[in-house]
Amino acid sequence: MLRSACLAMSLVLCPVSLAQAQTLTPNDMRAAAIRAVGVGDARAALTLTDALLARDAGDSVALNVRSRALRNLGQYAAAEKAGRQAWSIADTPAEKFSAATLVAQALASDGKKTRAQFWLRRAAHNAPSENRRRQAIRDFRYVQASNPLQTSLSFNISPTSNANNGSTTDTFNWFGLPLTLNGTARALSGVQYSASGAFRYRLKESATAKTDLTLSLQHQTYSLSSEAKSIAPDAKGSDFAFTAAQLTLGREWITGRGAKKRFTGTRLTLGKNWYGGDALTDYARIGAYTRFQVSPTSIAQVGLDLETQKRHDGGGDTANAVALDGTLYRTLANGARVSFGGNLRRSVSDRDDLDFTFGSVVASYQLPKPVLGAFVTLRGELAVREFDDSPYTIDGRRDVTKGLGLELFFAETDFYGFAPTVSLNGNTRDSDVDLYDTRNLGVEVGFRSVF
């Protein structure tokens, strides 16, 4: 009589004690617990799950219902614990999806949104269907949007024909006198290992403005090939390692509406670079940019930066630079995405190799549809750098760099929301001083987040 009455009244008008719950069959109790938590009677659901777990501590349905009921009661730590227990015994994708989602919900409700995002990646990875996967991704993006801390990580490994940015020549002419380059000045092949991360914390946000503090870190190092070691026996890959760290305070405003909406921002950056383990430069940069819609399918961004840097690879020289850049992004009628950008930079100092004018153009084209499961992007770059003076010529130096790249992004082959990328990159630098002629060809394999 108790069983039928409670099931009929959905446990809302008929509370169940632990002793009474034990008179029901396990399946009846599970159904009643699910119904109770569904109508908002979390305490009745807890009573039923207590009985189920006393009978079987590995009852995954009871643990899932218990996690949801505890979260509804505001007991977030206990809800997370129950969800983790359900995860630890989950066997099927559906069970793992449910448990990971419940842990994420408990963490998000408790304000632990970065950890919640990790569990939502787990949920998406174990989703039993495409609809469930889309649900997990929507939840991830919702939590991400409300999380003041955003993290972006990248890891790559790639063979390279020029780890040290060395010359392609063995000798060069210095005012008619042939000189032989030492091993470390020549191009050395090997493998590059790189990792980078950006950690953004939102300090303040309103409907029309936001203020962010971002820490960016980058490190790349190398292992040299046997051929490189024969050219430069005393060299190590770490001799050419590059490390960068910078902290940026940025603020962005939104003005206008619809097609006239404009994003305008300012940024202050402090940074430091190291080369081969030794300090290379300290720099400070202040800049501004604006981004706006040119047409229904085109967006443009223009920026201006002023920078001062102190060099540590000489006598502590200081260089000051101004840079102007702009990029146009457009979506074509066939769905392809293209971009075209340019950069101008002028640097002045008391040191010959720091006085230069630089200009570059960069274009990219992303095919409208995947090819063999990969999104394909083609890139091309042309850059010219002219130095006012050079110790090797009487009238300065001119370098012309050309680069081509092909990137394959396998977005549908992801692991926890990270999908592999494969890039083929090649560039050449032709200088009127042979010492600075370089060639580099590399294949890069990495991972990128798909959501």
pLDDT tens digits for 21-70? 456 788 989 999 999 999 999 999 999 999 999 999 999 999 999 999 99
Residues 290, 239: one domain? yes
Residue 339, pLDDT above cutoff 80: yes
| Burial (CB count <10 Å: 0-12, 13-18, 19+), residue 221 | buried
Residue 15, pLDDT above cutoff 70: no
Look at residue 1 in the predicted model and tell me its pLDDT.
32
Residues 182, 325: one domain? yes
Domain, as residue range, for 95: 2-145
Task: Tell which of 145, 163, 193 closes a domain.
Answer: 145
Residue 11, pLDDT above cutoff 50: no
Residues 377, 260: one domain? yes
Residues 32, 121: one domain? yes
Model confidence band, residue 257 (pLDDT cutoffs 50, 70, 90) = confident
Q: Give the containing element (helix H, strand E) for 320.
A: strand 318-331
Residues 199, 271: one domain? yes
Residues 130, 165: one domain? no
Look at residue 390 in the predicted model and tell me its pLDDT.
86
pLDDT per position as a tens digit, 105-119: 999 999 999 999 999
Residue 9, pLDDT above cutoff 90: no
CATH code at position 347: 2.40.160.40
Q: Which amino acid is located at 425 in the chain?
A: N
β 262-275/171-174 pair status: unpaired
Residues 27, 135: one domain? yes
Look at residue 100 in the predicted model and tell me its pLDDT.
97
In terms of pLDDT, which residue wins out, 435 or 82? 82
In the chain, the largest separation of any two C-alpha atoms, in whole Å, equals 108
Could you give the number of structural domains in the chain?
2
For residues 249 and 215, what is the distance between their CA atoms, to the nearest angstrom? 9
Residue 158, pLDDT above cutoff 80: yes
Residues 177, 303: one domain? yes
Q: Which of 324, 371, 317 is nearest to 346 (CA)?
A: 324
For residues 381 and 378, what is the distance between their CA atoms, to the nearest angstrom? 11
In terms of pLDDT, which residue wins out, 196 or 16? 196
Mean pLDDT of 93-98: 96
Q: Are 409 and 154 in contact (CB under 8 A)?
A: no
Mean pLDDT of 156-184: 86
Q: Tokens 């990219």 belong to which residue?
A: 364
Q: Give the containing element (helix H, strand E) for 143.
A: helix 130-146
Residues 73, 194: one domain? no
Q: Which amino acid is located at 34 in the chain?
A: I
Which percentage of the chain shows pLDDT scores above 70?
95
Residues 129, 199: one domain? no
Mean pLDDT of 219-229: 96
* Measured CA distances, 175 to 178, 390, 395 (Å): 8, 12, 12
CATH code at position 42: 1.25.40.10
For residues 83 and 64, what is the distance between their CA atoms, to the nearest angstrom? 6
Mean pLDDT of 266-279: 97
C-alpha 338: how far from its chain's center?
A: 21
Task: Tell which of 117, 145, 173 closes a domain.
Answer: 145
C-alpha 346: how far from its chain's center?
A: 30
Q: Which of 433, 389, 366, 397 is nearest to 171 (CA)?
A: 433
In terms of pLDDT, which residue wins out, 155 or 177? 155
For residues 243 and 194, what is the distance between their CA atoms, to the nearest angstrom? 10
Look at residue 286 in the predicted model and tell me its pLDDT.
98
Residue 14, pLDDT above cutoff 70: no
Residues 153, 288: one domain? yes
Look at residue 34 in the predicted model and tell me its pLDDT.
93
Residue 343, pLDDT above cutoff 80: yes
The runs of H, that is alpha helices, within 160-245 are 226-231
Mean pLDDT of 353-381: 95
Residue 247, pLDDT above cutoff 50: yes
Task: Tell which of 103, 119, 145 closes a domain.
Answer: 145
Residues 314, 422: one domain? yes
Residue 10, pLDDT above cutoff 50: no
Look at residue 23 in the predicted model and tell me its pLDDT.
63
